[in-house]
Structure 1
């Protein structure tokens, strides 16, 4: 994490810790999570839009969800607010993506005095190698949700935690998970069908940053390169890397550069102009680190992934 961001987080924590700790009480005296009283919803804090969507699908009407990171906000550069600390301090369960995506979360949890359950949804997911040039990404590639089969594992981790924290609704959580898992299987099957119809030599992908590794592996795409040559959006493209990327786009016959909804498209547009290819952006921008606006189809995980697949197939096959 960059020094300025780390300093900002510490400043927020210092200002809010005293008042938040005084209001805490999310767990039992033995450190275990307290079940909600009869008729009350399980209080859950979810970090990213993707994780929050999994929580809503598994939890249904039984959970009250506070989502920390809003749509189209870059999670790599996120800084927690006093409201975030207060929400965590009064929650029963905190659900995170894991794999270093929420670099700010541990100290925020400590500041909130949270003593409930923390769910790391990445547990059980086979991780891609991290970024060797970024020690904070060395744990692995954090963009695990871009493979729907990983999303199933993430949702199952949430289901197990909810059953343990709120046993009175255990059967409901289990049923919600089974129903959602079936939808994720259907999404994966549709993605596979769409890419199978695209000739292998046209499945070449250039994106804003290296966020689609699990997606590329799952659907047998060729990763040509990224505008930001890192899994973390704070990295910058050097002049030599820019020249190399332009040359690679031309040499491979790549048709397009895909911008992302949570990142500015200017660099992608500049590279596309030099390489003589189109930029896919605006309403067609991919959802790499975020979901769309709440209430839209792309505001859900499944809707965003369907959008990504349809956009990529249309642009590369056209």
Structure 2
């Protein structure tokens, strides 16, 4: 082959690779990249076999602080669609998401489109609360948002298949909500009070009629730290409310929750929940539905126990 022909062939290959990258494909397959694993589980169910779905956040990771590799960043930049929380949750990857959006990659901030609420207390009071998945009603909305964006932006997907997948998942989440409503109705109204490791259950409290007494970490992120005064104030509130249990994320240390229980001067159980991350299969919360069922049982059992 002549040098001219070689250069032409090389140029053609480069153009083809560029086109493939811009169309969000990997070896001919359309791709969707999701930042967090809870949204990743929902997106995989909606997409089914219509595209490759890459989830950046590993099981049991902290969404506020997890990072990604250079290879994962490149996947994000080449995606056909990026699905992310949109309310400031995944702090370690937001700059990369913004860079991809600036390069023309379609991105969907799911939380922004599910009627978000704001924190009502702590250091983040007045700011958007990103933990919308604790309300199954909003997660049904999220399923629709993701399905619409996949159909609009990911080339080659079968709209009928994606719509059918989304409809089945919405039905499953509706059944979950019915179960949660029934189980939480068994908790006496005077005991529907929540103290958590950090502010994560605002949506659940609003949906099912719980009162948020407070959080050990006085903010919406696990990156903050409570002061001695914060712990004293919360222990006084716990004592006054007669709270029987404090809930701590299973992937985070419950040390602060135990310190609070001791300071409250009461017999208070510290109960682990799966709040911000899914687990590996077989570890109790491998899917969104499994996570929410486990949390429902843990909360209902802890707050009804004498």
Alignment TM-score, normalising by the size of structure 1: 0.82
**Matches of 1:26 and 1:96 in 2, distance apart?**
23
**Residues 118 and 158 from structure 1, CA distance in 2 versus in 1: closer, same or farther, beyond 3 angstroms?**
same
Whether the 8 Å CA contact 1:123–1:157 is kept in 2: the answer is no
Q: How does 1:1-318 map to 2 (within 5 A)?
A: 34=23, 40-109=28-97, 114-130=103-119, 139-164=127-152, 165-166=154-155, 168-275=157-264, 276-281=266-271, 285-318=272-305
Shift of 1:86: 1.9
**Matches of 1:120 and 1:220 in 2, distance apart?**
27
Shift of 1:40: 4.9
**Matches of 1:100 and 1:43 in 2, distance apart?**
23
Shift of 1:200: 0.5
SS at match of 1:299: coil
Shift of 1:35: 7.3
Shift of 1:184: 0.6
SS at match of 2:58: coil
Shift of 1:273: 1.8
Unaligned runs of 5+ in 2: 1-16
Residue 11 (structure 2) aligns with: none
Once the two structures are superposed, what CA deviation does each residue of 1:263-318 show, in whole Å capped at 9, x if it has no partner? 1111111111222233334xxx1112111223555110011011111001101101
Q: Larger radius of gyration, structure 1 or 2? A: 2
Whether the 8 Å CA contact 1:121–1:155 is kept in 2: the answer is no
Shift of 1:158: 0.9
**Residues 26 and 230 from structure 1, CA distance in 2 versus in 1: closer, same or farther, beyond 3 angstroms?**
farther
